Amino acid sequence: MGTTKLRAIFQSATPGAVEWPTLLLLVITYAVWALATTWLATISTPLAVIVSAIAIAQFSSLQHEAIHGHPFKNPTINALLVAPALTLILPYARFRDTHLDHHLDSRLTDPYDDPESNYIDPGDWEKMPRIERAIRTANNTLAGRLLIGPILGTACFLKSDWRNRSTDPRVLKGWVWHLPAVIPVLIWLATLAAIPFWAYLIATYLGLSLLRIRTFLEHQAHEHARGRTVIIDDKGPLALLFLNNNYHVLHHTHPREPWYKLPGLFRKNPDRYLKQNDGYFYRSYAEVFAKHFLKRKDPVPHPLWRRS
């Protein structure tokens, strides 16, 4: 892309259209990631892994914001701002396409049509090998989601893209654009970074694991679409790390609202949203850990849906 075209794109974003909190947080996140992989890695590799993992999780949350039109109204600018593949394996374009497909609320939790569903068709579950059933059952506890969620989620994502490679033109396009996104990160790690590559892979895994706390119970099987999306009234560090997506029913109701406005929207009319999602509510992430760390949140086979 030429400099003239790039200049025209950025000039199309008027100052009033910029969401400065999101842009500032993105700059801070890049700075923390850069310092963690360089300076901090010369002091302590374990500390560098932890801080890099937090930065990667925060960056992934910011990619989610970019998908929904933040911090600029221009989607090309937003895509450029979050283009570097800090997670190495997951293409931003594929995250964008599957996530927008997921936002068709009538499909939420559908084992086939919701690309972010963790449910299995009961008929497929009955045919599944026992070891795979055990793995997926463990994945339905929070401890399991943290330990094996990144492997299982990535494997299912890659399997789906391979299966759809010839029927969905977005798949090939997304992976082609992933190459120029991952090369600069690999060059950084090979030349400027002090963190060992094996340690960065651990940091990436931990970052994806942190994100599983957010996605663990965002949606539940429910007869009505409006009752499938959670509210977790958390105001702590995890809420910031996930950019208030714990108020998830508000995000689905107002997908173009920036992350920093979601708590205020909930405070203005909590009864409306609790009625809307049929009381699917947790007081905090501490409550989520207490209830579901070792206890599964629901069955893996979809309790309300079976392919006829």
Number of C-beta neighbours around residue 4 at 10 A: 8
Residue 129, CA distances (Å) to 108, 134, 136, 140 in order: 26, 9, 11, 17
Enter the tokens of residue 260.
Answer: 């920093």
Q: Is the peptide bond before 111 cis (omega within 30 degrees of 0)?
A: no
* pLDDT tens string 56-75: 999 999 999 999 999 999 99
Q: pLDDT tens digits for 213-238?
A: 999 999 999 999 999 999 999 999 99
Convert the pLDDT of each residue in 9-24 to its tens digit: 333 444 457 999 999 9
pLDDT of 16 reads 54
Per residue in 116-128, pLDDT tens? 999 999 999 999 9
pLDDT of residue 308: 61
Helix (H, G, I), strand (E, B) or coil at 232: strand
Please report, rounded to a whole number, the percentage of residues in the chain having pLDDT higher than 70: 94
Look-up of token digits 């506890």: 141
pLDDT of residue 3: 39
Residue in the block written with tokens 């409006």: 226
The average confidence (pLDDT) of the chain is: 93
Q: Which residues of 228-267 are buried (b: 16+ CB within 10 A; e: fewer)?
A: bbbbbbbeeebbebbbbbbbbbbbbbeeebbbeebbebbe
Any alpha helices (H) in the chain, and if so which ranges?
A: 3-11, 20-37, 39-43, 45-67, 75-81, 92-102, 122-127, 130-138, 142-164, 169-191, 197-215, 237-241, 248-253, 262-268, 270-276, 285-292
C-alpha Rg value of the chain to the nearest Å: 20
Instruction: Give Dmax (Cα) for the chain.
Output: 59
Report field, pTM of the whole predicted structure over 0.85? yes
Give buried/exposed letters for 73-87 (b at 16+ CB in 10 A, else e): beeebbbbbbbbbbb
